[in-house]
Amino acid sequence: MLTNKEKNFISAVIYLHNNEKHIGKFIQSISKILDDNFEKYEIICVNDHSTDNSLQGVKSIACNINGALSIINLSFYQGLEMAMNAGIDLAIGDFIFEFDSNIIDYPIDTIMHIYRRSLEGYDIVSVAPKVIKSNTSKIFYSVYNKFSKTNYKIRTETFRILSRRAINRVHSMSRTIPYRKAFYANCGLKTDTILYSNQNIDNIKYNELLKESRKETAINSIILFTDAAYKFAIILTIIMMLVTVGTALYTSLVFLGNVKPVEGWTTTMLFLSFAFFGIFAISAIIIKYLSIILDLIFKKQKYTIESIEKINR
């Protein structure tokens, strides 16, 4: 065991939702490496309304943890982003680890690797797999990075460390944080990403709640943090204008011509169908924008907590 431990106080925020299979071993692994390297640390588990025995799994190993252990119980399922925001708000560490997943498919010493990297002046250091196996994730990140205005490109990440300065900077940017990666990429502080090999690990399986939450987060992020929706609406509007002009020219030629064709019912219906499709598509984008703005501005609570448990040895 190391005798010369780090003096910085460390917080580890762990997302918890129906992870009874992995959570016990995961917390023990995290606790061991923190205990071996830091004088003081805390572990915060955010229970996103788990319906299995995940909570019992955390409490059963509490006696083996030397650091402080807290459990935040959310009132109902609120998704990864809101849950992690709740944990970060409670954390008091000089540096904060964010563990979005309870599966360790990386070398455990990577935790200390990114901590030491952060001491070199990087306020946000992420750990990411070299291989992204999810096709939907590939599509999302390619669209996001193409249309976002930041030089820092985001990707699938497993966990990360943030300095207290990074937390303060992000909180000063907005009252609510709907997508942490986007704020971290746009906060203006130095960031870095450490890659690891994950070729032998199968894809992580998500339940329906997590799938819906991830889909909603992806759509909101594309609309909020990129100009993809704006460009799509502009392109669609230009196409509609060109079709309208083309239809007007066609109508004028038919009217001025000597040969009168059969009434253009098909052409008219095609034009009207396309025009209404464009109108409805643009309206849907506007409504989604307004919905997100309404949530961000007028929603008083970022998340809803049922209780906070402090577990002592």
Q: Is residue 268 part of a domain?
A: yes
The CA distance from 185 to 193, in Å, is: 11
> Is the pLDDT assigned to residue 169 strictly greater than 90?
yes
- In a domain, residue 219? The reply is no
- The reply to whether 123 and 155 lie within a common domain is yes
pLDDT given at position 290: 75
Indicate if 139 and 269 belong to the same structural domain: no
User: How many Cβ atoms from other residues are within 10 Å of residue 140's Cβ?
Assistant: 20
Residue 56 domain flag: yes
Query: Could you tell me the residue range of the domain that residue 268 belongs to?
Result: 228-298
Is there a single domain that holds both residue 192 and residue 237?
A: no
Position 113 in a domain: yes
Segment 87-106, tens digit of pLDDT: 999 999 999 999 999 989 99
Whole-number pLDDT of residue 261: 58
Q: Provide the residue count of the chain.
A: 313
Q: Which position has the token pair 């008083």?
A: 300
Residue 173 and residue 279 in one domain? no
Kindly report the pTM of this predicted structure: 0.80
Q: Identify whether residues 61 and 193 lie together within a single domain.
A: yes
Give the per-residue pLDDT at 262: 59
Q: Do 189 and 59 sit in the same domain of this protein?
A: yes
136 and 234 both lie in a single domain:
no
* Structure confidence at residue 301 as a pLDDT band (50, 70, 90): low
141 and 69 belong to one structural domain: yes
Inside any domain, residue 48? yes
CA distance 232 to 225: 15
What is the enclosing helix (H) or strand (E) of 181?
A: helix 180-186
Q: CA-CA distance, 115 to 274, in Å (whole number)?
A: 55
**Is 223 within a domain?**
no
Does 209 map to a domain? no
Residue 110 domain flag = yes
What sign for the dihedral angle of Cα 173, 174, 180, 186?
A: negative
Same domain, residue pair 40 and 170? yes
Looking at residue 180, its pLDDT comes to 92
**Tokens representing 174?**
């907005």
**Domains of the chain: total:** 2
pLDDT reported for residue 4: 84
Same domain, 76 and 188: yes
CATH number at 40 reads 3.90.550.10
- Rounded CA-CA distance 24/311 in Å is 15
Count the neighbouring beta carbons within 10 Å of the beta carbon of residue 233.
19
Instruction: For 59-96, give the DSSP string.
Output: HHTGGG--SEEEEEEESS--HHHHHHHHHHHH---SEE
34 and 138, same domain (yes or no): yes
Name the burial class of residue 203, with classes exposed (0-12), middle (13-18) and buried (19+) by CB atoms within 10 angstroms of its CB: exposed
What is the token pair recorded at 141?
A: 């990140």
Confidence of residue 40 (pLDDT cuts 50, 70, 90): very high
Residues 105 and 80 in one domain: yes
